[in-house]
Amino acid sequence: MTQEQSITKVLIFDIWGEYAHFRKIYTTTSPLTYSIPTRTALCGLIGAILGMRKENNEYLESFALNNAKIGLRLLNPVKKVNIAENLIHTKDAKGIGMNLIITRAQIRFEFLKDPMFRIYFWHKDETIYAKLKNYLGSHKTTYTLCLGLSENIANYKYVGEFNAEILNIKNQYIPIHSVIPVEKINKDGINISILRREYFKEIMPIEMNINRVVKKYENILYERQGKPIEVKLINHYYKINNNDEIENIVFIE
């Protein structure tokens, strides 16, 4: 039985906050943010719920592509704002105490405003899957959740555990509610005739090793307002009936 065939259920939860910042790796002095969290950021967020320590990057290995499946859906439109922050020069502390540092540098950060996302999760380790299900159902978290930066505190709501039906329909437009890796879409397979859609794609890190070296990048397609994207897929997708609606998703991989 293949890994895809073994995925019969997924955990779904929504997460949101006032601001988020997922720094683009090529920006330094004026940090820009990705429009959606990277898969690596989602690994860190789920690891924070479960209590996986960040020091040894345990969560990166546990949530590697061959161990875990993670999908993402936009629930609020992408909005960005710029905010100036005063950063302190910690090298000037010299043991005198952080509160005594007087040297500052004002840097303009780009933030997501009022972000809200839906996360789909599956793990081949039943123990990890069951632990996350228990934590989500009890609204528990080991570490404080944040959206990219420690000051961007987040909250979440457990949606539930649902059946995931694997489907493989080719040469037909399928409305996909999650973000989509471009490599999963047929050439010229996006239905651009639908009105009032805003399509964007960003190259994002998908997987890192325990030394925090990126192993894979991928172009991720999303609709800025969070509306479904009609595409012809190269291979399978998952159909989820969450009681309120049917959701068609693909995982970020």
Helices then strands, counting H and E runs in the chain, come out as: 4, 15
Q: pLDDT per residue over 90-109, tens digit each? A: 665 565 666 666 777 778 89
Strand, coil or helix: 251: coil
- Kindly state the average pLDDT of the residues 122-141: 96
The pTM of the full predicted model, rounded to 2 decimals, is 0.91
- Dist CA 17 CA 112 (whole Å): 9
Cβ 245 vs Cβ 159: under 8 Å: no
Q: Which residues pair with 241 in a beta bridge?
A: 246
pLDDT exceeds cutoff 70 at 186: yes
Q: Which residues contact 24 (CB under 8 A, 6 or more apart)?
A: 31, 32, 33, 34
Cβ neighbours around 102 below 10 Å, total: 7
Q: pLDDT per residue over 2-49, tens digit each? A: 455 578 899 999 999 999 999 998 877 679 999 999 999 999 999 999
pLDDT of residue 93: 57
Tell me the CATH number at 208. 3.30.70.2660
Average pLDDT of every residue of the chain: 90
Domain residues for the domain of 161 are 3-249
pLDDT of residue 39: 96
- Report which of 248, 178, 161 is spatially closest to residue 220, judged by C-alpha positions: 178
pLDDT of residue 1: 38
pLDDT exceeds cutoff 50 at 165: yes
- Report which of 69, 72, 23, 62 is spatially closest to residue 205, judged by C-alpha positions: 23
Sheet hosting strand 199-208, strand order edge to edge? 180-181, 214-223, 199-208
φ/ψ bin of 11: left (φ > 0), alpha (ψ from -120 to 50), beta (otherwise) = beta
Percentage of the chain beyond pLDDT 90 is: 70
Token readout for 8 is 């019969």
Q: pLDDT per residue over 42-74, tens digit each? A: 999 999 999 987 767 778 889 999 999 999 999
Q: Where are the alpha helices (DSSP H) in 29-174?
A: 39-50, 58-62, 126-137
pLDDT of residue 17: 97
Q: Say how many domains are in the chain.
A: 1
